[in-house]
Amino acid sequence: MLLKEVIGQEKVKERLIRSVQEQRISHAQLFSGPEGSGKLPLAIAYAQYISCRQRTDTDSCGECPSCRKYAKLIHPDLHFVFPIFKPKNNQRPFTDDFLKQWREFVLASPYFNLNQWLTSLNVENAQGTIYAHESESILRKLNIKSFESEYKVMIIWLPEKMQEECANKLLKMIEEPPSKTLFLLVTEDEEAIIGTIRSRTQLIKIPPIELTALQQALLRREELEPDTVAEMVHLSNGNYLKALEYLDMGEDKKFFFDSIQSMMRLAYSRKIVDLMELAEELAGIGREKQKDFFIYALHLMREYFMMNFKKPALTYLYKEEKDWGKDFSPFINERNIIPLTRVFEEGHLHISRNGNSKIIFADVALTIVRLIRR
């Protein structure tokens, strides 16, 4: 991937290019930023720039043997680690077992989130994890001499999903790696990474994409009209994935929206039996999706509360969400917004801690019965 193919982030690109030109490449770097900001494509493009044999002052050449291999993610000195799950027929899986699917997925579009990646693997109720034994593979790969490039590059996507035992085994190598070894850790939650690893990395803050850059990227899509792009950019908050959701809410987001509508209607009508059936359905969708459901619910509560102020510039809702909110938003008011927020936050926390999902969703649903009529 070329740096110019990464949307926006010009200041970060300049910093990374300068580190190469001045030969000040830190051996362990932590790319930290929100979802949809382009952290992973930026890390890949940076690694390609370092390995390029004919790089310019602004980008990789895109033509040398190294760049051609990077373009297919098959360079022998480029390694990936990312969250996976345990299939029924393999209780000790490694990242390499999923490498073919990973390459295809990233090459289709390097902008994606964890839920999209796990959905592509047909994960059911498993959470994406970097298992403790993955450290064996990492240490083995990086202790081998590089094949073609000056640097061996290890890109770890979402190190916050790393089991603590794996993280602890990597500490020594991250602190004192073999010569010409580069760790690029790509995170959306740096505080969830153990402090001893954070302290051994150089932090590269990746902000949301600049809105002008995002607008330009969307306008290059021939099927989009300027008015549509303007609405997409407004809703995005610098998140490329969120901008694309304007065109297609996606099956998961549509399911979440339908479920929130049903939950609120059933809670208001006090149809407890139907509400418990919905809670049981949500309890069976898989933990990563359950966490995303609570995050989405928190977003809707905030936006519907803001709709009451009659200031469209302050709300970030898609058309379908906005249309429903015209009737529903008065029910989210100053009397219940704080307890409603709290119940969804606690639901997310308890799911993250592997609580019993049936009990969690039942408790959330019954609490909403009490709150929605305030």
For residues 141 and 71, is the Cβ–Cβ distance under 8 A?
no
For residues 127 and 289, is the Cβ–Cβ distance under 8 A?
no
CATH 1.20.272 intervals, the chain: 249-371
Give the predicted TM-score (pTM) of the model.
Answer: 0.78
Mean predicted confidence (pLDDT) in 45-60: 96
State the Cα–Cα distance between residues 249 and 217, nearest whole angstrom.
Answer: 19
Q: Would you state the pLDDT for residue 246?
A: 80
Tell me what the pLDDT averaged over the chain comes to: 93
- Quick one: tokens of 297? 């619910």
State the Cα–Cα distance between residues 209 and 10, nearest whole angstrom.
Answer: 10
State the Cα–Cα distance between residues 89 and 72, nearest whole angstrom.
Answer: 29
Beta strands 78-81; 181-187: pairing state: unpaired
Q: Would you state the pLDDT for residue 87?
A: 86
State the Cα–Cα distance between residues 102 and 107, nearest whole angstrom.
Answer: 8
List Cβ neighbours of 138 (8 Å cut-off, separation of 6 or more): 79, 81, 154, 170, 173
Helix, coil or strand: residue 53: coil
List Cβ neighbours of 294 (8 Å cut-off, separation of 6 or more): 344, 345, 347, 348, 351
CATH 3.40.50.300 intervals, the chain: 3-207
pLDDT band at 133 (very low <50, low <70, confident <90, very high): very high
Q: Would you state the pLDDT for residue 317?
A: 85
Domain 249-371 class in CATH: mainly alpha
State the Cα–Cα distance between residues 208 and 57, nearest whole angstrom.
Answer: 25
State the Cα–Cα distance between residues 159 and 320, nearest whole angstrom.
Answer: 35
State the Cα–Cα distance between residues 267 and 153, nearest whole angstrom.
Answer: 52
User: What totals of helices (H) and strands (E) does the chain contain, helices first?
Assistant: 17, 5
Lowest mean pLDDT among 156-165, 272-281, 317-326, 347-356: 317-326
> In this predicted model, what pLDDT tens digit does every residue of 291-302 receive, in sequence order?
999 999 999 999
Per-position DSSP letters for 144-155, written without gaps between them:
SPPSSSS-EEEE
> In this predicted model, what pLDDT tens digit does every residue of 202-252 receive, in sequence order?
999 999 999 999 999 999 876 788 888 988 898 888 999 989 888 777 778
For residues 112 and 241, is the Cβ–Cβ distance under 8 A?
yes
Mean predicted confidence (pLDDT) in 341-353: 96
List Cβ neighbours of 127 (8 Å cut-off, separation of 6 or more): 83, 85, 161, 287, 288
Lowest mean pLDDT among 11-25, 71-85, 169-183: 169-183
Comparison of pLDDT for 179 and 50, the residue scoring more: 50
Is the pLDDT confidence value at 156 over 70?
A: yes
Q: Would you state the pLDDT for residue 222?
A: 66
Neighbouring C-beta atoms of residue 370, cutoff 10 Å: 12
State the Cα–Cα distance between residues 81 and 328, nearest whole angstrom.
Answer: 44
Comparison of pLDDT for 300 and 312, the residue scoring more: 300
State the Cα–Cα distance between residues 230 and 246, nearest whole angstrom.
Answer: 11
Lowest mean pLDDT among 111-125, 140-154, 177-191: 111-125
Domain 3-207 class in CATH: alpha beta
Is the pLDDT confidence value at 50 over 90?
A: yes
For residues 274 and 310, is the Cβ–Cβ distance under 8 A?
no
Lowest mean pLDDT among 20-24, 273-277, 307-311: 307-311
Q: How far is CA 109 from CA 93, 127, 236, in A?
A: 25, 22, 18
- Quick one: tokens of 221? 């899509």
State the Cα–Cα distance between residues 44 and 30, nearest whole angstrom.
Answer: 13
